[in-house]
Amino acid sequence: MDELGVQIGAGTIARWLADHDGRWEREAKDIHVAGVASSDWLATDQTATRVDGQNEVCHVLGNPFFTSYHMRPGGSRQDVVAVLWGQEPCFRLNEDALAWMEATSLSSSIPTRLLALLPWDTELTAAELLARLSEGGLRLNQQQHQQVWDALAVAAYHAQKDRPIVRWLLSDDAAVYHAITDEHALCWVHDGRHYAKLSPVVPEHQRALGDFRRDYWALYRELLAFRQAPSKDERSRLRRAFEALVARRTGYEDLDARIAKTAVYRELLLAVLNHPELPLHNNDMELAARRRVRKRDVSFGLFLGSPALSVSHLLSSRRKHTLAQEIEVRATIGHALDELQTVYLAFDLPIAER
């Protein structure tokens, strides 16, 4: 404001930030919808935060065109579905839901009971689903409840036609991100951090870890180069190089166990070989989450209706690039000054390429 030659009291700014008419919240939702439609893939991360004195989770979602922030009660798979969907999840019993449940540890009797209690291929709200299960006397323990509701929520998300469906999701290896989208890619940087946490004492083990990490990041750099000039021959060579890397046995038990876990995720880590447009890391979303963390450190927590929560909506409006048709963001502060002079607040956050 000082640069514009305008003197404004702190109380006035606080009233603007309160977003009484919901302008920032609506704008954040619009950017989220347009952003999800802008690409076949999205990256995501989450961090703990507090809202009204309660522990919640801030989910960050984006790609090179946008970033959006979403406060949710938790970090479960249903919360992730809600973030991708842009609304509270609904639930649907269909072939996809049955296949999802079949892949879990659920007893076969539970899907049979669900078929008798729920309408087929019909979208239900959480309240409607709970009512039907209660009326039918179907009691589920905590694990069964999560598996059933996850299956029905994921099936409903993929069956709906109102919002674009995310086909590729880039994330860390947290279990809540699995089995939501058609394809899933893992962040190499997150996987690599597991090796950095190893602390061998025996010199031979130290050398084995150092050699493996050197070769691990060398392969990572080769995959980065592949993204710029993909070819069939290089794709085959890199896949063989990965298999040779994860086939290594060092005699250092902790390292060998960690390598075996990396091998399990081979298809998710090598997704870039078939889709060179995918990043190899999730750094952008992690950096975006840190903005929420810095705000949390300063304000400790958010309160519904507070300026701090409105700033979280504004964060979704700050972007590094434009969408396909150029989403120009004008903050509420600028709008409030329109009668004095036209003020546009342009936010340009360049992508930090690793």
- For the stretch 193-215, pLDDT in tens is 999 999 999 999 999 999 999 99
Q: Does residue 102 sit in the same domain as residue 143?
A: yes
On whether residue 86 sits in a domain, the answer given is: no
Question: What pLDDT shows up at residue 1?
Answer: 61
Q: Per-residue pLDDT tens for 323-337?
A: 433 333 333 334 444
On whether residue 176 sits in a domain, the answer given is: no
- What is the model's pTM? 0.79
Q: Which of 273, 295, 318 is the last residue of a domain?
A: 273
On whether residue 182 sits in a domain, the answer given is: no
Q: Does residue 299 sit in the same domain as residue 260?
A: no
Q: Does residue 262 sit in the same domain as residue 197?
A: yes
Question: What pLDDT shows up at residue 294?
Answer: 64
On whether residue 168 sits in a domain, the answer given is: no
Q: How far apart are CA 88 and CA 122, in angstroms?
A: 16
Q: Domain count of the chain?
A: 3
On whether residue 169 sits in a domain, the answer given is: no
Residue 68 has pLDDT above 70, yes or no: yes
Q: Does residue 6 sit in the same domain as residue 69?
A: yes
| pLDDT bucket at 348, cuts 50 / 70 / 90 | very low
On whether residue 59 sits in a domain, the answer given is: yes
On whether residue 89 sits in a domain, the answer given is: no
Q: Does residue 268 sit in the same domain as residue 286?
A: no
DSSP 228-291: HS--HHHHHHHHHHHHHHHT---S-HHHHHHHHHHHHTHHHHTGGGT-TTS-S--HHHHHHHHH
Q: Per-residue pLDDT tens for 303-322?
A: 554 444 444 555 554 444 44
Q: Is the torsion defined by CA of 197, 203, 208, 213 positive or negative? A: positive
- Which residues constitute the domain of residue 135? 95-162
